[in-house]
Structure 1
Amino acid sequence: MEKKEVAANRDKKPEKVKSDKIQTTVSEQNSNKENEKLKRKLEWEKRLAEQKLKGKTEETQDLSKTKLKAIRRERQEAQRQAKAEYKVQEKPKSKREKTDLQVQHTNTVTEKPLEVKKSKAKYIQFVQHLYRQSSPEYSKFVNYKDVHAVFVHLGIQYAEKVILGSNARCLALLSAMKYLINDLQTPPKQEFGRYLESVLQHSTNYLQNCRPLSVSMTNVLRHFKLQLTRMDANLTDNAKKAHLQEVIDLYINNDIKKAWDAISMKVNQKIVDGDVILIFGCSSLIRKILFEAHKDEKKFSVIIVDSRPLLEGREMLRRLVSFGIKCTYIFINAISYIMTGVTKVLLAAHALLTNGYVMSRVGTAQVALVAQAYNKPVLVCCETYKFSEMVQTHAFIYNEIDSSTSLFKAGTQALESPLAALKDNPKLNVLNLLYDVTPPDLVTAVVTELAILPCTSVPVVLRINASETIL
């Protein structure tokens, strides 16, 4: 048995060897076929590359340099036209996306420079904070929510420059407040003082939109609100109305009218016969001083200096001449010519700042500068209720910008100003400031109802007024 099994195993071994040989031959054949296919592909690719190179070399040989340049130019122009058409198609899409959705970052980057150019054409950069939004058309609106009709009428007069001057604006505000208090009716379940304060706030906001509030107006509102908080809450509404109207009347009499009387008395002591007094613009306080001096039969003459565009000196000239005072009317460009014959300079003030600077109508600083150059005394007449806690050394921090169209009018003739041709010039930016700031070095003294003081005494007066209001 063992011999038979050994023989069978011998017979099986040659069969396994045969099968292994067959498999190796098949695999070799397959690999040979793949190698042949790869060789054929490589040969085909080489032939194609050689044909392309031959065609290019033939084309380049046939074409000259000028033809090649012409072909390149045609390709470039075609690319530019395609880009331009693509941009034209994209513009309306970006506008629609702006109105409906938030604009993508790429679109905003392209449109930001356009907005900056528009703002530069309209506004001057270093006084950009002084510009206000365009005021509404006041003539079309009569009724405003939570604004009394008297304040609506007053705002129109402020905006159209019918009421000019800090004293006139302050008195008009006080009279409007009296009308508001008289017509006020508190709704149920509301306290009189708080309701009046809210209504007054809406009204003053409306006035602020018409024209920025003056320093005198802000001081009046601060004083009135302080008295409103100190009022007895147990009083009836009618008693409260009567008390607040008395507060307003006392403020007008004591802080404004009696201050005028005291200032006019102090200045009249400085006026002598033969004086030539130079004034600038139009001021109710200066007019009262000159009227009182004329009543005392003092012989003097007045030189009225005026400037465009408001030309307020005309009204001052009309009133002084009607009262019988000898006057001379000049423009500010002739002030150095006439300053030699002047003995005193009287100037009014819009506000007196804590650092001693005088804020007044544009041109006041120039008049004071020329007066100092000729060694003429400069007296600034200002009531203490115009003293402000602001500190300012130039006219660009806090000021008021008037419309630029008034500078393109001649004002003195029926003909149009020669500057009107430059009105629509995009390279011209017009700045029309209403006030300037005069340094204390150019002012000899400030005449107040308290005394004739230097400009540096403003903090002391403010401290005294603050202590009196606390008491």
Structure 2
Amino acid sequence: MDKMKSKASTDGSTKKEKKNKRKQSKDSQDDVKPISNEVSCEDNKNELVDEKNDSTKNDATAQKLSEKELRRLEWEKKLQSQKGDKEVTTISNTKTTQQQKQLSEKELRKLEWEKKLQEQKAGDTANSALSKAELKAKRREQQEAQRQAKLAAEKAKKPPSTTPTKDTAKEVSKVEKKTVPKKETKKIIDLHRVQLVQHLYAEMPQKQDSKLLVYNNIHPAFVKLGSQYLNKTILGSNARTLALMAALKRLIYDIQTPPKQELCRYLENVLQTCTNFLQNCRPFAVSMVNALRNFKLHSTQIDTNLIDSEKKARLQDIIDVYINDDIYKAGDAISLKVNEKISDGDVILIYGCSSLLKKILVDAHKDGKKFKVIVADCRPLLEGKEMLRRLVVAGIKCTYIFLNGASYVMNSVTKVLLGAHALLTNGYVMSRIGTAQIALVAKAYNKPVLVCCETYKFSERVQTDSFVYNEIGDPDLLSKTPGTEDPSPLSKWKENNKLTPLNLLYDVTPPDFVTAVVTEIAILPCTSVPVVLRINAIDTT
């Protein structure tokens, strides 16, 4: 127990001591804390003071800068507002001026238009009773009066001079030239032309005669041939082609190549000038174009190393072969095929003059076939007369009629044979004017129509009427009636401005009116022309 008491006392003393120690440590800590706190507060105060001083300085500088910027911005705004006011004023001024101008222009236009209308009304009322010729005369008088007034004003400005100078002479000559009524002559000439075929008119016949003297370096054979084409002494496709080939052979025989030149090339240049001359005399036929094309194609295939004499011989052989094969032999083959269709007692109607038809009929008569021929003809060329003469000389019974009597004779006709100037790609037959009428009448009477045509007359052209491409003859020939002394009613057609005679040489017959086309190849329909052209192109290449 005593021990327990002693322990408790010791424990109590120890506890008290511990408490006292704790108090002392707390007091010491409390004494230290305020000192540290005081030191830290003082430091913070100093820092705050420094910060405040810096902030006050920055605020002052910022205030100064902001005032300057504000002044600048205010100044810039004032300048911009002034500029905008000026621009607005200028734009408004321009708009107002433009509107005023527009209004003034509109008013002026209205006034001018009203004046014109009043003048036109006055002129219409005055000119309503006048004719076109009187109106033209009035206009010309006004123009001449204006010109004279101008000349008088110019003379009044210049001092009068007794001696004529160069300028006055020129002016007088100009006035004289102007007073000459050249335009009136041109108008009179144009009045006698059909507007539908205006592109077909060539130069006047008086000018055509002067063409013979214009061209130089032309062979005499071509000069002679051109005059024959111009005067129409050579007619027919075959006759014109044969004459051209004969002139070409003469040119090849007479040509002399200059030094350092090749014969074929030099010949092409010379031939080009000659053909241009012939075309100006009269347009080429389709057969002539094809013959020249064939000659030029084969002339380029001749060896250039040969002598000129050998080249000339080769060129002439080309012409002879073409004439023999494409004209003469083709005619013989066509004659044989048509003779098979002719029988005794036939009445054959032909139109115009064709060398191929004459050969066919003469060969059939020589074979002993008995038939009759009716030759239809028309003005102005009257080619049927020459055909009639040749057939009568051969011993064939013939009847001669004009084109307007074809319908009266067609009942007794058994066959119709026609020649052709060209056969077009679309199957139309181009031949002497009047052929289409004969074919039309034969179709109406259900008579067979055979067109005899060599393949070298086939053309790549397409045509459905007689106005796109044709040849115009002399209109004076229509006013002449051969065999009578009485004047024709058309003899004074030039005095009548409303009368325009049109003398077309060819017409176009539709394939519906043609039964078949007899060629050297076979008896073909009109639609087989493209096939024949393709075959001929392959053969030539």
TM-score by length of 1: 0.76
Distance 2:518 2:268 in 1: 35
> Which residue of 2 is the match for residue 386 of structure 1?
457
Higher mean C-alpha displacement, 282-291 vs 409-418: 409-418
Q: Is the 8 A contact 1:308 1:411 kept in 2?
A: no
- Does the residue aligned with 1:127 lie in a helix, a strand or coil? helix
Post-superposition offset of 1:134 = 3.0
> Which residue of 1 is the match for residue 36 of structure 2?
none
> Which residue of 2 is the match for residue 352 of structure 1?
423
Deviations 1:49-92 (A, max 9, x none): xxxxxxxxxxxxxxxxxxxxxxxxxxxxxxxx999744444599
> Which residue of 1 is the match for residue 524 of structure 2?
453
Distance 1:215 1:147 in 2: 23
Q: Is the 8 A contact 1:154 1:172 kept in 2?
A: yes
Change (3 A) 1:181 1:100: farther
Post-superposition offset of 1:123 = 2.0
Runs of 4+ displaced beyond 6 Å: 81-84, 96-101, 111-116
> Which residue of 1 is the match for residue 319 of structure 2?
248
Aligned match of 1:166 in 237, 240, 254?
237
> Which residue of 2 is the match for residue 22 of structure 1?
none
> Which residue of 1 is the match for residue 193 of structure 2?
123
Post-superposition offset of 1:160 = 0.3
Paired positions, count = 382
- Does the residue aligned with 2:491 lie in a helix, a strand or coil? helix
Distance 2:148 2:393 in 1: 70
Q: Is the 8 A contact 2:430 2:507 kept in 1?
A: yes
Q: Is the 8 A contact 1:143 1:149 kept in 2?
A: no
Q: Is the 8 A contact 2:238 2:287 kept in 1?
A: yes
Q: CA RMSD in A?
A: 2.7
> Which residue of 2 is the match for residue 218 of structure 1?
289
Q: Is the 8 A contact 2:245 2:319 kept in 1?
A: yes
Change (3 A) 1:246 1:328: same
Distance 2:142 2:463 in 1: 59
Post-superposition offset of 1:229 = 1.0
Q: Is the 8 A contact 1:142 1:152 kept in 2?
A: no
- Does the residue aligned with 1:279 lie in a helix, a strand or coil? strand
Q: Is the 8 A contact 2:352 2:384 kept in 1?
A: yes
Q: Which residues in structure 2 correspond to 1:235-384 (within 5 Å)?
A: 235-384=306-455
Q: Which residues in structure 2 correspond to 1:63-74 (within 5 Å)?
A: none
Distance 1:91 1:203 in 2: 51
Extract unaligned runs of 5+ from structure 1. 1-80
Distance 1:84 1:195 in 2: 57
Q: Which residues in structure 2 correspond to 1:164-203 (within 5 Å)?
A: 164-203=235-274
Post-superposition offset of 1:233 = 0.7
Distance 2:267 2:211 in 1: 27
Post-superposition offset of 1:388 = 0.2
Distance 1:82 1:464 in 2: 68
Distance 1:293 1:413 in 2: 36
Distance 1:340 1:160 in 2: 38
> Which residue of 2 is the match for residue 229 of structure 1?
300
- Does the residue aligned with 2:349 lie in a helix, a strand or coil? strand
Q: Is the 8 A contact 1:400 1:434 kept in 2?
A: yes
Q: Is the 8 A contact 2:188 2:497 kept in 1?
A: no
Give the letter for the 1:304 counterpart.
Answer: V
Distance 2:172 2:449 in 1: 59
Give the letter for the 2:495 counterpart.
Answer: D
Q: Is the 8 A contact 2:208 2:281 kept in 1?
A: no
Give the letter for the 2:252 counterpart.
Answer: I
Deviations 1:312-370 (A, max 9, x none): 00000111111110000000011101100000000000000000000000000000000
Give the letter for the 2:518 counterpart.
Answer: V
Q: Is the 8 A contact 2:192 2:494 kept in 1?
A: no
Q: Is the 8 A contact 2:215 2:277 kept in 1?
A: no
Distance 1:441 1:253 in 2: 33
Distance 2:515 2:309 in 1: 49
* Bigger Rg, structure 1 or 2: 2
Extract unaligned runs of 5+ from structure 2. 1-140, 155-169
Give the letter for the 2:341 counterpart.
Answer: K
Deviations 1:243-291 (A, max 9, x none): 0000000000000000000000000000000000000000000000000
Distance 2:385 2:142 in 1: 67
Distance 2:333 2:391 in 1: 21
Distance 1:83 1:441 in 2: 58
Q: Report the identity percentage.
A: 63
Deviations 1:20-48 (A, max 9, x none): xxxxxxxxxxxxxxxxxxxxxxxxxxxxx
